[in-house]
């Protein structure tokens, strides 16, 4: 099995305890390269905890996370981003008073190399790097559907544009894996459909792998190729969207025991 | 009523406008020594015109304020111990440009003194650089235990360092540590002067400022140059990749980390750079004073510098220059001049005694009524008005943290 | 650089940290034991001295911890309020009441009680006003803002002390005699030392009662845990914060009175004492009231041992450095303090 195929992410026996509470319960999880995978589950199932361990915010109590062949469970967030995981946040966390371009430029931080002395002297190399970075940032903004928003302050953008900007910023980190945390929350059906198409495009055109946390089943059904369901921190089902939709345990988890009895 | 946010809906650089003003000011600054006497003859305001040597001190302190601005204004870290950097720079000059280490005799580029004079005597120009680098290392060392803490603890710990370093230099002599590092309460004096050496002499420049006919003027011009270089570096860094990282950290640390910005390293750089300029200014000042004396270094100075940054405008280079020169003027000459006027008017009130109360009052008044400072920096104005996500990412002191990761892994 | 980081990473591991911490504690224990064996009477006397000092530190530390628990603000001005209160206590006792070392015990005791009845409410109001004027407007500003204001406030208050009292020290330490209250061999517990406890202990008891049983006390704990939820439960958050500042102010005044009776006070005493007391609060666990008392007593003992013992003691020149070193060590090795996390549950 070559590095090109196979799994981009391999999570083994991942466990997270907060004092007495077990938030993640010995979960095994893989993400095949190039796939769009969704992580769903009722509130409190531990999806965000899982995300946070993937991105280095939380340290797992035990277990391992291997990303592209590298063990990342003991790395801080910025190092994981440098390795190739980009993310958006459930509650949008743009840099509110930076412009759209500046937000994206921050995303490029780990891909740029200008140092202190170079920045002070503004050497030709630094100037060129900055020029190219701004060009790339503008491209990403256009690509993400924000063609005329470069110089607008992030906090003053409409909600849908803010979500797109977050994605543009995450793409700026040049990721192999894109983590989207409830990206369509608060969107109307049209916006949701547009966004779903966008996610597909991003995966197809940029060769990315995508992991979504989602509550909107239309998005899950519409775009994901595999769905994993968590409940109380443990994996209770995994498979194609259709398989999962029919899984008894999943229905119970969402609707309660009564729903499965006819 | 338009808010700062409205006005800054799109970002526009005022850089070109600034350059012309700067050029004009530089010209005036260079001409100042020739103008000062005529200025002091003016009626009414003449008494308030600072002397050239007063200006030297003002410029040195303003340079330090610009350095502090990098830490407080750019990176958003409340450093209450900046005086430690000032002291480190001053004593570096004391070590490498005086007779302190008279066990050795080593000269390199020294001016104005006999080559057989004991002690280490490097060219003071070189010493300025060495002082900056040494203080930079001190900054990194202080940063190691400090920068992992949330804002208020960081403030207290830097305050502590700002207390310990002066205490240390006061006690680091034969009796205190068994080795005469800082010559204790007496300080190190004399410290060599700057100068252009024999090469300069041939060009008509003074060999040593100390022995020249216009010592103050030459130190003054050097101070202007140092301030200009510091401002230049500060502005360049602000507009660089590192500067963006600082803004990101100010506005949302957690998001910044997720976007690949290494929090500890980036904050440490702000410390290191602030320390560098503090060290250079400290070394320069001690060459001007011809000595490094423990009595010159005390905690209140850190707050004095902070007041300059707050008064002028956090993050605003023009603002800090204005705030710095204004407050330093008050400290060096202004308050005593005002005091004399008050005495003349018959009142027995000496404002110099209460100068730190005055600075405290300025700080509180500014924070309540104009937190953005005299010359606000656009982005800080919006951040103050609209708020930022300033929950610290690392917070070792509570259980309710955003992360359970240890900052030293960062 | 990478090796430095790896070394630090090794040092940060819990077992290493605990190992280092325990070794430090063991070293201090050995040092104390040696001193105890060498000069037992002096050791105990110095220890009692430390207890006296520690009780003052405890009161001041409580002021810091109460405010921090509820606002996450280090009230830099607190130490200077303490100093001013001590100076005002001098005015009350010596200038107004005219007490001196010749006055009768009853007069002195009465004077102290009445003095406290004056200074404690006075400084409650002063402290509350500081909050109202300088900190409340910045309640929703970025965290840096009230912090900076507190620094400025500290300088204002200390300069008020300077303006009112000049640079001379003030003391009422000759009011209470050094005569022994009881003595065992060479160990002397003087009346003077007792007065400190006589004031501090009742204040602590009153405080505990207030925080544990009264509605306001419960409100304080609620707001410290979750201001929004408390507001929704009908707690008047602003009033609760004011009450906290009133309490802290009167605690400072109590400490000021004790300090005046035991030692000497000056306009700038607040700075050093503030740093020491804040360290004590952190050592005990910031936000934790019992922790503040424990921390205060510990630091008081450490200082007295450092200055009073003779075997390998660094002496008063190094007290500030030692206290500060402790602060750093705690924040590095055990940032939640000795008594644990930041939930101000009273004791």
Q: Mean pLDDT across the stretch A120-132?
A: 94
- C-chain residues within 8 Å CB-CB of B353? 162
A262 has pLDDT over 60: no
Shortest alpha-carbon distance between residue C75 and chain B (Å): 10
Shortest alpha-carbon distance between residue B248 and chain A (Å): 6
Q: Identify the closest residue of chain B to A57 by CA–CA distance.
A: B403
Q: How many residues does chain B have?
A: 410
Q: Mean pLDDT across the stretch B259-270?
A: 95
Cβ distance B258 to A102 less than 8 Å, yes or no, reads no
Q: Mean pLDDT across the stretch C208-231?
A: 87
Q: What is the pLDDT of residue A107?
A: 96
B157 has pLDDT over 50: yes
B80 has pLDDT over 60: yes
Neighbours of chain B (3+ CB pairs under 8 A): A, C
* Helix count and strand count (H, E) for chain A: 10, 10
Cβ distance B388 to A155 less than 8 Å, yes or no, reads no
Confidence of residue C330 (pLDDT cuts 50, 70, 90): confident
Pairing of strands A70-71, A85-87: unpaired
Neighbours of chain C (3+ CB pairs under 8 A): B
B185 has pLDDT over 90: no
Q: How does B233-267 read in b/e, with b if 16+ C-beta sit within 10 Å?
A: bbbbbbebbbbbbbbbbbbbbbbbbbbbbbbbebb
A183-191's contacts with Cβ under 8 Å and 24+ in sequence apart are A183/A88, A183/A212, A183/A214, A184/A214, A184/A216, A184/A219, A185/A90, A185/A215, A185/A216, A186/A159, A187/A159, A187/A160, A187/A163, A189/A218, A191/A160
Alpha carbons within 13 angstroms on the beta-carbon side of residue B363 total 29
Nearest Cβ partner of B245 from A57, A77, A109? A109
- Residue pLDDT, tens place only, B383-394: 888 888 878 888
CB-based contact (8 Å) between B386 and chain A?
Answer: yes
- C-chain residues within 8 Å CB-CB of B145? 328, 331-332
Q: What is the pLDDT of residue C347?
A: 31
Q: What is the pLDDT of residue B399?
A: 59
Give the C-alpha separation, B141 to B161, whole Å: 11
Of residues B112, B405, B110, the one with CA closest to residue B254: B405
Cβ distance B152 to C141 less than 8 Å, yes or no, reads no
Highest mean pLDDT among B308-317, C137-146, C312-321: B308-317
Concatenate the DSSP letters of all residues of C197-208 into one string: HHHHHHHHHHHH
Give the C-alpha separation, A59 to C268, whole Å: 46
Give the C-alpha separation, C165 to B130, whole Å: 45
Cβ distance B160 to C327 less than 8 Å, yes or no, reads yes
- Residue pLDDT, tens place only, C128-146: 999 999 999 998 888 888 9
A124 has pLDDT over 60: yes
Of residues B5, B69, B82, B71, the one with CA closest to residue B314: B69
Q: How many residues does chain A have?
A: 262
Cβ distance B371 to C328 less than 8 Å, yes or no, reads no
Confidence of residue C12 (pLDDT cuts 50, 70, 90): low
A66 or B172, which is more confident?
Answer: A66
Residue with tokens 């001041």: C60
C273 has pLDDT over 50: yes
C2 or A189, which is more confident?
Answer: A189
- ipTM for the predicted complex comes to 0.92
Q: What is the pLDDT of residue C286?
A: 86
Give the C-alpha separation, C36 to C40, whole Å: 5
Q: What is the pLDDT of residue B12?
A: 42
Q: Identify the closest residue of chain B to C285 by CA–CA distance.
A: B397
Of residues A101, A102, C146, A126, the one with CA closest to residue B247: A102
- B-chain residues within 8 Å CB-CB of C153? 360, 364
- Residue pLDDT, tens place only, C72-100: 899 999 999 999 999 999 999 888 888 88
Q: Identify the closest residue of chain C to B165 by CA–CA distance.
A: C321
Confidence of residue B3 (pLDDT cuts 50, 70, 90): low
- Residue pLDDT, tens place only, A141-174: 999 999 888 899 999 999 989 999 999 999 999 9
Q: Identify the closest residue of chain B to A173 by CA–CA distance.
A: B259
A189 has pLDDT over 60: yes
> Using H for helix, E for strand and C for coil, what is the string for C252-315?
HHHHHHHHHHHCCECCCHHHHHHHHHHHHHHHHCCCCHHHHHHHHHHHHHHHHHHHHCCCCCCC
Q: What is the pLDDT of residue B115?
A: 85
Asked whether the beta carbons of A110 and A135 are under 8 A apart, the reply is: no
B10 has pLDDT over 50: no
Neighbours of chain A (3+ CB pairs under 8 A): B
Q: What is the pLDDT of residue C346?
A: 34
Q: Identify the closest residue of chain A to B265 by CA–CA distance.
A: A78
Of residues C189, C170, C194, the one with CA closest to residue C108: C194
Give the C-alpha separation, B339 to A130, whole Å: 53
Asked whether the beta carbons of B101 and B119 are under 8 A apart, the reply is: yes
Cβ distance A106 to B383 less than 8 Å, yes or no, reads no
Give percent of chain A with pLDDT exceeding 90. Answer: 60
- Residue pLDDT, tens place only, A214-255: 888 888 888 899 999 998 889 888 999 888 888 888 888 777
Nearest Cβ partner of B405 from A59, A105, A126? A59
Q: Mean pLDDT across the stretch B323-343?
A: 92
Alpha carbons within 13 angstroms on the beta-carbon side of residue B31 total 9
Q: What are phi and psi of B12, to 5 degrees?
A: -130, 135
* Conformation bin of residue B109: beta by default, left when phi > 0, alpha when psi is -120 to 50: left
By mean pLDDT, which of B141-150, C34-43, C251-260 is the weakest?
A: C34-43
Pairing of strands A21-32, B119-122: unpaired
Asked whether the beta carbons of B166 and B83 are under 8 A apart, the reply is: yes
Residue with tokens 């110099």: B352
Residues sharing a CB contact under 8 Å with residue C339, sequence separation 6 or more, in sequence order: C284, C285, C288, C290, C291, C294
B365 has pLDDT over 50: yes
> Using H for helix, E for strand and C for coil, what is the string for chain B?
CCCHHHHCCECCCCHHHHHHHHHHHHHHHHHHHHHHHHHHCCCCHHHHCCCHHHHHHHHHHHHHHHHHHHHHHHCCCCCCCCHHHHHHHHHHHHHHEECCCCCCEEEECCCCCCCCCCEEEECHHHHHHHHHHHHHHHHHHHHHHHCCCCHHHHHHHHHHHHHHHHHHHHHCCHHHHCCCCCCHHHCECCECCCCCHHHHHHCCCCCCHHHCCCHHHHHHHHHHHHHHHHHHHHHHHHCCHHHHHHHHHHHEHHHHHHCCCCHHHHHHHHHHHHHHHHHHHHHHHHHHHCCECHHHCCHHHHHHHHHHHHHHCCCCHHHHHHHHHHHHHHHHHHHHHHHHHHHHCCCCCCHHHHHHHHHHHHHHHHHHHCCCCCCCCHHHHHHHHHCCECCCCCCCCCCCCCCCCCHHHC
Q: What are phi and psi of A31, to 5 degrees?
A: -125, 115
Asked whether the beta carbons of A115 and A122 are under 8 A apart, the reply is: no
Give the C-alpha separation, B363 to A241, whole Å: 60
Asked whether the beta carbons of C97 and C111 are under 8 A apart, the reply is: yes
Shortest alpha-carbon distance between residue B59 and chain C (Å): 24
Cβ distance C142 to B387 less than 8 Å, yes or no, reads yes
B373 or B152, which is more confident?
Answer: B373
Burial of B364 (0-12, 13-18, 19+ CB in 10 A): buried
Give the C-alpha separation, B175 to B160, whole Å: 23
Q: Mean pLDDT across the stretch B155-164?
A: 88
Q: What is the pLDDT of residue A1?
A: 42
Cβ distance C143 to B151 less than 8 Å, yes or no, reads yes
Cβ distance B397 to C342 less than 8 Å, yes or no, reads yes
**First vs last C-alpha separation in chain C:** 44
């Amino acid at each position: 099995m070559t590095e090109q195929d196979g799994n981009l992410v391999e999570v083994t026996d991942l466990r997270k305890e907060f004092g007495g509470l077990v938030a993640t319960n010995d979960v095994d999880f893989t993400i095949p390269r190039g796939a769009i995978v969704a992580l769903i589950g009722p509130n409190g199932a531990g999806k965000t905890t899982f995300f946070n361990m993937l991105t280095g915010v939380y340290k797992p109590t035990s277990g391992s996370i291997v990303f592209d062949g590298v063990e990342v469970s003991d790395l801080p967030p910025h190092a994981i981003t440098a390795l190739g995981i980009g993310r958006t946040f459930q509650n949008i966390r743009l840099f509110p008073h930076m412009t759209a371009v500046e937000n994206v430029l921050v995303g490029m931080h780990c891909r740029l190399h200008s140092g202190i002395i170079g920045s002070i002297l503004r050497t030709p190399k630094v100037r060129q790097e900055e020029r190219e970075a701004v060009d790339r940032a503008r491209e990403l903004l256009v690509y993400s559907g924000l063609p005329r928003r470069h110089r607008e302050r992030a906090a003053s953008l409409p909600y849908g544009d803010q979500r797109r900007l977050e994605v543009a910023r995450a793409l700026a980190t040049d990721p192999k894996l894109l983590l989207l945390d409830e990206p369509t929350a608060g969107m109307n059906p049209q916006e949701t459909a547009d966004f779903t198409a966008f996610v597909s495009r991003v995966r197809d055109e940029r060769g990315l792998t995508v992991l979504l946390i989602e509550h909107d089943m239309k998005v899950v059904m519409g775009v994901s190729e595999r769905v994993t369901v968590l409940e109380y921190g443990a994996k209770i089902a995994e498979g194609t969207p259709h398989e999962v939709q029919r899984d008894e345990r999943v229905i119970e988890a969402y609707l309660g025991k009564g729903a499965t009895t006819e | 009523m338009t808010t700062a946010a409205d006005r800054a809906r799109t970002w526009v650089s005022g850089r070109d406008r600034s350059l012309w003003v700067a050029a004009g000011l530089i010209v005036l600054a260079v001409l100042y020594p020739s103008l000062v006497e005529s200025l002091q003859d003016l009626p009414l305001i003449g008494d308030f015109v600072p002397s050239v040597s007063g200006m030297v001190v003002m410029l040195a302190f303003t340079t330090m304020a610009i350095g502090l601005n990098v830490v407080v204004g750019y990176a958003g870290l409340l450093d209450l111990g900046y005086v430690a950097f000032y002291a480190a720079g001053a004593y570096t000059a004391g070590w490498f440009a005086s007779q302190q280490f008279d066990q050795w005799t080593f000269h390199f580029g020294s001016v104005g003194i006999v080559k057989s004079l004991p002690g280490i005597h490097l060219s003071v120009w070189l010493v300025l650089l060495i002082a900056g680098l040494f203080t930079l290392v001190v900054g990194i060392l202080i940063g190691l235990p400090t920068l992992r803490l949330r804002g208020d603890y960081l403030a207290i710990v830097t305050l502590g360092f700002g207390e310990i370093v002066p205490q240390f230099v006061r006690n680091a002599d034969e009796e205190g540590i068994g080795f005469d590092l800082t010559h204790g309460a007496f300080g190190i004096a004399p410290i060599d002067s700057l100068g252009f050496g024999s090469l300069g002499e041939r060009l008509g420049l003074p060999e040593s400022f100390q022995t020249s006919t216009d010592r103050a003027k030459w130190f003054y011009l050097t101070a202007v140059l140092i301030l200009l270089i510091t401002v230049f570096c500060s502005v360049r860094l602000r507009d660089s990749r590192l500067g963006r990282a600082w803004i990101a950290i100010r506005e949302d640390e957690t998001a910044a980390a997720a976007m690949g910005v290494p929090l500890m390293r980036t904050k440490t750089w702000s410390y290191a750079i602030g320390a560098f300029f503090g060290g250079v200014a400290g070394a320069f000042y001690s060459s001007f004073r011809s000595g490094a004396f423990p009595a010159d270094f005390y905690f209140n100075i850190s707050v004095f510098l902070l007041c300059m940054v707050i008064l002028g405008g956090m993050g605003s280079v023009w603002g800090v220059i204005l705030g710095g020169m204004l407050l330093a003027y008050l400290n060096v000459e202004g308050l005593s001049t005002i005091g004399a006027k008050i005495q003349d008017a018959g009142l027995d009130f000496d404002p110099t005694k209460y100068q730190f109360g005055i600075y405290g009052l300025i700080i509180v008044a500014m924070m309540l009524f104009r937190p953005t400072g005299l010359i606000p920096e656009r982005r800080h104005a919006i951040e103050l008005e609209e708020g930022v996500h300033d929950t610290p990412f690392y917070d070792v002191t509570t259980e309710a943290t955003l992360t359970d990761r240890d900052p030293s892994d960062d | 650089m990478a090796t430095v980081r790896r070394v630090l990473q090794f040092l940060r591991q819990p077992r290493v940290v605990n190992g280092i911490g325990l070794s430090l504690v063991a070293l201090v224990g050995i040092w104390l034991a040696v001193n105890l064996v060498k000069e037992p009477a002096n050791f105990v006397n110095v220890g009692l001295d430390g207890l006296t000092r520690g009780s003052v530190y405890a009161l001041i530390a409580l002021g810091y911890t109460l405010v921090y628990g509820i606002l996450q603000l280090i009230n830099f001005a607190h130490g200077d309020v303490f100093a001013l209160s001590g100076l005002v206590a001098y005015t009350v006792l010596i200038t107004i009441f005219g007490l001196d070392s010749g006055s009768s015990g009853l007069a002195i005791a009465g004077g102290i009680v009445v003095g406290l009845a004056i200074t404690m409410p006075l400084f409650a109001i002063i402290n509350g006003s500081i909050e109202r004027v300088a900190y409340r407007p910045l309640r929703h500003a970025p965290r840096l803002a009230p912090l900076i204001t507190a620094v400025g406030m500290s300088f204002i208050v200390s300069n008020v002390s300077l303006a009112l009292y000049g640079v001379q020290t003030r003391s009422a330490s000759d009011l209470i005699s050094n005569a022994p209250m009881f003595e065992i061999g060479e160990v002397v517990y003087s009346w003077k030392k007792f007065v400190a406890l006589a004031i501090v202990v009742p204040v602590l008891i009153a405080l505990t009662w207030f925080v544990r049983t009264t509605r306001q006390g419960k409100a304080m704990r609620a707001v410290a845990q979750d201001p929004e939820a408390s507001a929704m439960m009908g707690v008047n958050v602003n009033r609760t914060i004011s009450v906290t500042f009133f309490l802290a102010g009167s605690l400072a005044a109590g400490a000021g009175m004790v300090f005046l009776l035991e030692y000497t006070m000056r306009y700038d005493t607040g700075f050093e004492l503030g740093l020491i007391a804040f360290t004590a609060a952190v050592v005990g666990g910031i936000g934790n009231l019992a922790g503040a008392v424990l921390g205060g007593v510990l630091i008081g003992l450490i200082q007295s041992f450092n200055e009073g013992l003779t075997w390998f003691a660094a002496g008063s020149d190094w007290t500030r450095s030692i206290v500060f070193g402790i602060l750093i060590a705690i924040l590095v090795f055990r940032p939640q303090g000795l008594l644990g996390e930041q939930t101000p549950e009273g004791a």
